[in-house]
Amino acid sequence: MEFRSLLLVLLMILNIQSRQTEDLPVVRVTPDTSVFTGETVTMKCEIEDQNRSVNMSFQWSNRRTSVFNSERYTVNTNTLTIRGVTQHDQDEFWCVQGHQSSAAVHVTVMDLPRATVRVTPDTSVFTGETVTLKCEIEEQYRSLDWRYLWYKDRTEVLSSERYTVNTNTLTISKVTQSDQSQFWCVTEIHGRPQTSQRISAVHLTVIGSKPKAELTSDTEGYVLTGNTVTLTCLMNQFTGWKFYWYKHKQNTEKKTTEGIYYSIHNVTVSDGGQYWCRAGRGNPVYYTNYSDVLWINVADSAASSSSSHGLKVGVAVGLSVMFMIIFLVLLLCYKTRKGKVSESPSGVSPQQNISQTSDQKHNEDGYTPLQSGNAHVYDSVNAADNKNTSTDNVSGAADLTYADIELKPKKEVKKNKEKKNKEKKDVASGSNDVIYAQIK
């Protein structure tokens, strides 16, 4: 029995308390207790019997003062409306009816968030590229229910064949000249038109034709094994490129770099071959045309010293053979000429005779000895090369000059035999050079 009465008392107390809370007015705020500058905020004071509260009059207050109708404030029965809120309106509000006061609600006023448009890969694109425009709200406001509208000049962009609008992203695929225009992004919280912001996105520039990458190497000629060769893939127009490298092999190899350089360290013979590159950007990737093919020639550094020696030997042998042929020709000419001279009548001018005798001399004591002398001089020049380090280049040039000089008088001698006195002087000067070379 005692227990029962206790329960009854308890229930009565609970009932009274619940009735009291039921009767307390409550402030409901639309659209939110957090609003942006310029928005309209509405506060409704409600008691449990909503039908009754509609026509009830409430006293509104904030922390500073009682609220009455004013320029931006409208009090109407149970409703307080503030239009065009400013930071100044940020406060706590509550309503009072008789002795009953609602709990206070805190209304926060924020400036509109900053929005930006990010364009990938670039605001300047080539025909055929895919461009993505992304409208981004400051991070702390992203959780709000934003709505994004896209405009191309003054027209709203809707999804179509090449345009895809997906919330805050506008994707334009296979860009054409017709896409060259101004794009805008408009952000707005759903149902709150006063949060609308128009963000100047980009002026999209569209360039006509596909560009071509340019491939160069830091090394000309042969690369010795063990060295490093660095290839450069140039794509000067615009930015945001990645670079794709190809080597001709059984299966074409492909490597990707963020930068324009591709280095092959510790080069081996197998690194030799054809290389080419191209640039690409975006998603899906838009590729430039391939560069021209670049050959990397690799020489084995171990064999290279002997091979360069071999080269010299080869040149020497080649020169010797050449001289041999020239002398053979000369000999032939001389012999036929000699036959002619002996046949010819005595009407020959003395000068010609002299020249012929000089030629004769040249050829007679020249033929075999000159050949060996040739080799000799070449060798001695080589020796000088090794010992006399003072002017490598000059002595190197002397090698070449020597060959030239040797050829010159021979040719002239040949011509000489055929005609003209004038050239005799040249022969003389030529023979001077020969002497010079021999001295060296």
Ligand X SMILES: *[C@@H]1O[C@H](CO)[C@@H](O)[C@H](O)[C@H]1NC(C)=O
Interacting residues with ligand X (CB under 6 A): 49, 51, 54-55, 209-212, 226, 266, 268, 289
Phi-psi region of 84 (alpha: psi -120 to 50; beta: other; left: phi over 0): left
Do residues 121 and 242 lie in contact, with contact meaning Cβ atoms separated by under 8 Å?
no
How far apart, in whole angstroms, are the C-alpha atoms of residue 181 and residue 178?
8
> At residue 350, what are phi and psi to the nearest 5 degrees?
-65, -35
28: closest CA among 12, 15, 46, 14? Answer: 46
248: closest CA among 280, 293, 287? Answer: 293
Handedness of CA 117, 121, 125, 129 (dihedral sign): negative
**Cα–Cα–Cα angle for 198, 203, 206, rounded to 5 degrees:** 150
Minimum Å distance from CB 269 to ligand X? 10
Minimum Å distance from CB 6 to ligand X? 33
Cβ-based nearer residue to ligand X, 55 or 390: 55
Cβ-based nearer residue to ligand X, 38 or 273: 273
Cβ-based nearer residue to ligand X, 77 or 353: 77
Tokens of 105: 């609600």
> At residue 303, what are phi and psi to the nearest 5 degrees?
-85, -10
Cβ-based nearer residue to ligand X, 203 or 210: 210
Burial label, 380 (beta-carbon count in 10 A; 0-12, 13-18, 19+): middle
Cβ-based nearer residue to ligand X, 263 or 289: 289
How far apart, in whole angstroms, are the C-alpha atoms of residue 306 and residue 231?
28
Minimum Å distance from CB 50 to ligand X? 7
Do residues 421 and 358 lie in contact, with contact meaning Cβ atoms separated by under 8 Å?
no
Cβ-based nearer residue to ligand X, 51 or 305: 51
Minimum Å distance from CB 54 to ligand X? 5
Cβ-based nearer residue to ligand X, 205 or 228: 228
Cβ-based nearer residue to ligand X, 5 or 266: 266
Minimum Å distance from CB 267 to ligand X? 9
How far apart, in whole angstroms, are the C-alpha atoms of residue 82 and residue 284?
50
Minimum Å distance from CB 52 to ligand X? 6
Do residues 106 and 125 lie in contact, with contact meaning Cβ atoms separated by under 8 Å?
no
Minimum Å distance from CB 315 to ligand X? 31
Tokens of 27: 């402030």
How far apart, in whole angstroms, are the C-alpha atoms of residue 120 and residue 139?
20
Minimum Å distance from CB 214 to ligand X? 10
How far apart, in whole angstroms, are the C-alpha atoms of residue 120 and residue 148?
18
Minimum Å distance from CB 227 to ligand X? 10
Cβ-based nearer residue to ligand X, 209 or 239: 209
Half-sphere exposure of 7 (CA within 13 A, CB side): 4
How far apart, in whole angstroms, are the C-alpha atoms of residue 308 and residue 176?
57
Minimum Å distance from CB 291 to ligand X? 10
Residue with tokens 């006195």: 421
Cβ-based nearer residue to ligand X, 38 or 211: 211
> At residue 75, what are phi and psi to the nearest 5 degrees?
-110, 125
CA distances 417 to 19, 300, 345, 423, Å, are: 140, 50, 17, 10
Cβ-based nearer residue to ligand X, 289 or 336: 289
Minimum Å distance from CB 71 to ligand X? 26
Q: Is 32 helix (H, G, I), strand (E, B) or coil?
A: coil
